[in-house]
Amino acid sequence: MSEPPDSAPERNRHAPERWLSEYGDAMFHYALARLRDRAQAEDAVQESLLAALSARDTFRGESAERTWLFGILKHKIMDQFRRNAREVRIEDDEETDALIERTFDASGSWRLRPATWQDPGSDLERSEFWAMLEHCIGGLPDKLADTVRLVEIDELDSEETCKALGISATNLWVRLHRARLGLRECIERSWFSGDRTSRRQRS
Amino acid sequence: MTCAEAARVMSDGMNRPVERRERLSLQFHLFMCRGCRLYRKQLALIRRWLRSDRLAKAESTRQETVRLDAEARARIQTAIYKGFNEGEDTRS
């Protein structure tokens, strides 16, 4: 054993044996939010940790260990998405049609004009705000939630996302558009619907 | 251009370049339509929030709700030990 004994300055040295206890639940949570299948999420965590284990000599320590592990996890989740995307799904379904109809009238105008969202300022420090946002993402139809997580939260590029989800670029833009309409509706209802008199005055 | 179309073009524009003609129609529509101007602001805020570190943090600190169950944990632990030892063997 050529490595020096564990000491404080050596804390950055990899200790694969504590990866699971330190990051296991967070990784599982992250994977489950995206894959929505316990078994698949468990597999993604296991595969990631094993991949990290065999690649730990190449880790340069430029990023935090946690960031590095989550980077690997993202790729494993993408692989799983790819395996799941066997056929291109039909894009129009009742749930999203209803969303469009709720939002715009027959002439394509807003039924209810979007409200002015005051900069939430210190609200952003409140965990309720972020829980609300998570709740709104989770409340989207599954495929819209998947898409928004990959593109906007994980900031994957659109080509990768299309490949992972097995959809065309056109479908991707449609999904993102609908996801945004769904999110704004939910956020507005959940967070900005207090004393909004101007909205009640709409003609 | 209707509000429904404007909303779509604004969304598309966040992830890819849009055609010049669409862009010009959108500009004109935005000039006329307060609702769509407000939506544009909402889109920018939503993007900022979704990309915020704090959303990621909120996601990972609420681990108590979602945990690996004992069986999965044990299975993964075993796989790691196995992988670890195999790695050590090939190293020496």
Over the stretch B38-87, which tens digit does the pLDDT of each residue have? 999 999 999 999 998 888 777 666 655 678 888 888 888 888 888 777 76
- Per the domain annotation, does A117 fall within a domain? yes
Same domain, yes or no, for A126 and A45?
Answer: no
Candidates B9, B50, B77, B88: best to mutate against A (most CBs of A within 10 A) is B50
Cβ-defined contacts of B63-71 (< 8 Å, 24+) = B63/A25, B63/A26, B63/A29, B65/A29, B66/A25, B66/A28, B66/A29, B66/A32, B66/A33, B67/A25, B67/A28, B67/A29, B68/A24, B68/A25, B68/A28, B68/A42, B68/A45
More confident residue, B75 or A60: B75
Same domain, yes or no, for A106 and A125? Answer: yes
Residue A99 sits in the same domain as residue A76 = no
CATH no. for residue A42? 1.10.1740.10
Please indicate, yes or no, whether residues A103 and A190 belong to a single structural domain of this protein: yes
**A18: amino acid identity, one letter:** R
Q: What is the value of ipTM here, to two decimals? A: 0.76
Final residue in a domain of this structure, among A60, A84, A108: A84
- Could you tell me the pLDDT band of residue B89, with boundaries at 50, 70 and 90? low
A75 with A99, same domain: the answer is: no
Distance of CA B70 to the CA centre of its chain: 30
The more confidently predicted of residues B43 and A123 is B43
**C-alpha distance from A113 to closest chain B C-alpha (Å):** 5
Structural domain that includes position A141: 94-194
- Does residue A98 share a domain with residue A43? no
Based on the fold, state whether residues A98 and A185 are members of the same structural domain. Answer: yes
pTM: 0.69
Position with higher pLDDT, A18 vs A96: A18
Q: What is the pLDDT confidence band of residue B10, given thresholds at 50, 70 and 90?
A: very high
**Domain end: A49, A84, A119, which one?**
A84
What is the distance between the alpha carbons of residues A115 and A192, in angstroms, rounded to a whole number?
Answer: 8
The predicted structure's pLDDT at residue B88: 62
Query: Which residue of B12, B37, B51, B80 to mutate against A (max A Cβ within 10 Å)?
Result: B80
- Average pLDDT of chain A? 80
| Domain map (residue ranges) of chain B | 3-91
> For residue A28, how many C-alpha atoms fall within 13 Å in the half-sphere facing its CB?
24
Number of domains in chain A: 2
The answer to whether residue A169 is domain-embedded is yes
Window B:42-61, CB contacts with A under 8 Å: 42-43, 45-47, 49-52, 54-60
Are A108 and A154 part of one and the same domain? yes
A112-133 burial string, b = 16+ CB within 10 Å, else e? ebbbebeeeeeeeeeeebbebb
pLDDT in tens, B13-36: 999 999 999 999 999 999 999 999
Instruction: Encode pLDDT of A25-59 as tens digits.
Output: 889 988 988 888 888 899 999 999 989 888 877 77
Q: What is the CATH number of the domain that holds A143?
A: 1.10.10.10
What is the distance in angstroms between the Cα of B67 and the nearest Cα belonging to chain A? 5
Q: Is residue A4 part of a domain?
A: no
| A60 shares its domain with A103 | no
Tally A–B CB contacts below 8 A. Answer: 147
